[in-house]
Amino acid sequence: MQGNRLKQYSSLLIVGIILIVIYKTFDISWFSILLNAFFPIIIGGILAYFLEPLVQIVSRLFENIENKFLNKHKRIISVLLVSLVVILLVTLLLTRLIPMVMDYAVEFIRNIDTYVKGFESSINKTFNDPNIAQTIIRFEKTFVNSLKSFSSKDFVELIALAGKTGSTLLTILMGLIFCPYILIEAEKLAVIFDRFMLSFVQKENLDLIHEYAYKSHRIFGKFIYGKFIDSLIIGLIALVGFGLMGLPFFPLLAFVILVTNMIPYFGPFIGGIPVVFIVLLIEGFMPALTCGVFIFALQQFDGLILGPRILGDSVGISPFWIICSITVFGSLFGFIGMFLGVPLICVIRMFFNDFLQYRKNKIIDK
């Protein structure tokens, strides 16, 4: 019976993959309309998923308090406290950190032509061989042109981008509003889900769904929480290190390191190379070399000491599968796909291994 249920629900994974491929390949306008309508609720659900462990931690603090009111309403109070902290952090992010990083980015783009002229003059003086100098300059121009393309929109495109950004911020705001309600109603929503599923499947089959949902949650939760904490620590160390080295725009450079470090395997290269090149463009060869050595040492510390301590064996797959997952899911879903590709491939591997074990047991039974 267990093997038959496993076979039945392992097929759900295949169905999900087929639906994703169909959605990415064909134009399904009705699905997009439906997705947009529920998107604030989806965002609220995702936020609730990430905040649930914090709510449980805060809720446990009220267990030893003898006040009946606090014990009775500890779930609601915990949700409100966690939501308040999140609102304060989001406010700080939107009003202080993001504007500061954007100001540095705008200042860099505004002065990039001056940096380019100084860099090209330095390269021509440093290398006697004009072929080497021109090769470096061509690479530099390719990099600089890619940066300039981000600021080359005309007025109409800027208006459209602002409108889209405003709509996105409104959607996120609606998701923040839904989040505490979903956290408060989590147990009731789970009961509604179970009652709905029992209309189609038997109790033991629903238990199997719960089992695999819990296993998937452990894979995703441990990886996402661990990688976020790991990247935050690396970003803070980079911020302090770049500041002590006196690098220009060091908060912007540290922010790039923090964000790209969340991508497994390729993250250090995706973030480190442009950071070093920006320092090379502005400050010259020796500061860029010092910056490169620092980033290399930082990534070694992350890969050999910090990452294993935080993440443990949450990944446990070979570099080949990591590269495959980042490539495939990154192509399908962009940066989010590159970040979530590794836990997704771990979940797929879990289903695959269990299915192979089911087939093996079935052959033995025969």
Dihedral sign from CA coordinates of 332, 333, 339, 340: negative
Q: What is the Cα–Cα distance from 172 to 152, expressed in whole angstroms?
A: 27
Q: What is the pLDDT of residue 297?
A: 92
Residues 6+ apart with CB under 8 A from 331: 337
What letter represents residue 135's amino acid? T
Residue 196 makes CB contacts below 8 A (sequence gap 6+) with none
Concatenate the DSSP letters of all residues of 211-260 into one string: HHHHHHHHHHHHHHHHHHHHHHHHHHHHHHHHHHTT-TTHHHHHHHHHHH
Measure the CA–CA gap between 351 and 183, rounded to whole angstroms: 29
Joined together, the tokens standing for residue 39 give 């998107």
Domain ranges in the chain are: 1-110+152-200, 202-269+283-366
Amino acid (1-letter code) at residue 74: K
Please give the pLDDT value at position 295.
92
Q: Which residue is it, tokens 């089959």?
A: 205
Of 363, 357, 364, 365, nearest to 6 by C-alpha is 357
pLDDT of residue 32: 67
| Tens place of pLDDT per residue across the chain (366 aa) | 444 444 444 555 555 666 666 666 655 566 667 777 778 888 888 888 888 888 888 888 877 777 777 777 788 888 899 889 888 888 887 777 777 777 777 777 777 778 778 777 777 777 777 777 777 777 777 777 766 655 444 434 444 444 444 456 677 778 888 888 888 888 888 888 888 888 887 888 888 888 888 888 888 878 888 888 888 999 999 999 999 998 888 888 898 899 888 887 777 788 888 888 888 888 877 888 899 999 999 988 887 888 777 766 556 677 777 778 888 888 877 777 887 888 888 888 888 888 888 778 777 766
Q: Which of 241, 244, 262, 259 is nearest to 311 (CA)?
A: 262
Contact of 116 with 148, CB cutoff 8 Å: no
* pLDDT value, residue 244: 92
In 347-365, which positions are buried (b, 16+ CB within 10 angstroms) versus exposed (e)?
A: beebbeebbeebeeeeeee
Distance in angstroms (rounded) separating the CA atoms of residues 317 and 242: 33
Cβ-contact 310, 230 below 8 angstroms? yes
Question: How far apart (Å, rounded) are the C-alpha atoms in residues 5 and 1?
Answer: 6
Place of tokens 């443990």: 312
- pTM, entire model: 0.71
- Count of all residues that appear for the chain in the document: 366
